[in-house]
Amino acid sequence: MFINNGLRAVLKSSAGVLRESSTLCSAVSVKPWTCSSALLSGPTVSRVTGSFAVPPPVRHYARAAKTEKTDPKSQLSDLPPTMLKMDYAAVPLAQMTDDVVKRLLSLELASHREKLKLKTEQLIKKVQRDENDYSSVEVQVAVLTARIRNYQEHLLKHHKDKANKRRMLMAVDRRKKLLKNLRLVRYDAFEKVCEQLGITYNLPPEYYRRATRRWLAKKEFCIKVFKAIQKQKAEQKLQLNQSLDTTETEEAKQEVKA
């Protein structure tokens, strides 16, 4: 009996506290989440007697807006959508058809492979020696350039595609060898190819080796041996010069005596 009366008294007191907190929040017009934190911390007494001051609400500042990542400019972006496909560009009847057929034959509805084929043909025409040239070093460099740029655009979106990354590196190595040979044989053609295709050619290092601790110790030992040999040779040369000087002086003395 006494336990029940005690529980009822506790529940009545807690209900009264909740009513007072709700009336206080509505009177001060404070947000509920700030009012609950204020009640938990307790009201602060102001300098005026008999008045209570509720702490100011906590301001939650918004996060900075996320900037959308802009995709780099594609090599196919300069191809107009109204341009005809490569298979129908030389057909005169394709120019005289209606708009619906032209749209079907244009690059607007073409696949990525057809656009890449047209872009490769444009790069080939920039560097080929004549109209029938499709096997020279310059043409091979143009084909590899279009392929490498296509791989680069693909890997920016799918950076975990290891197979295409390997193919791109193989194409880069192949183009580097071709440019190196072209630079040694025909430097004017090399400059023209780099200028027309927008390629920056960096000279390879003369010698490259991974600097391991064993290699560094061996290099330091070889330098010490080289310096010791040079010092020994210098001493031998000095002794030889001194011996020659002594023989010359002795011969001079003998001539004077004679």
* Of 50-54, 56-60, 97-101, 149-153, the least confident: 50-54
- Residue range(s) occupied by CATH 1.10.287.10 in the chain: 110-197
DSSP state of 206: S
- Just give the CATH number of 110-197: 1.10.287.10
Query: pLDDT per residue over 118-140, tens digit each?
Result: 999 999 999 999 988 998 999 99
Burial call 208-237: b when 16+ CB within 10 Å, e when fewer: eeeeeeeeeeeeeeeeeeeeeeeeeeeeee
pLDDT tens-digit map of 9-58? 655 655 554 454 455 445 444 444 444 444 444 444 444 455 556 677 76
Burial of 83 (0-12, 13-18, 19+ CB in 10 A): middle
Output the DSSP codes for 53-108. Answer: EPPPPPP-PPPPPPPPPPPPPPTTTTS-TTSBPTTTTT-GGGGSS-HHHHHHHBGG
Q: What pTM does this model have?
A: 0.54
Element (H, E) at 235: helix 213-257
45 - beta bridge partners? 52
Of residues 187 and 23, more confidently modeled: 187
Give mean pLDDT, residues 5-12: 60
In this prediction, residue 214 carries a pLDDT of: 93
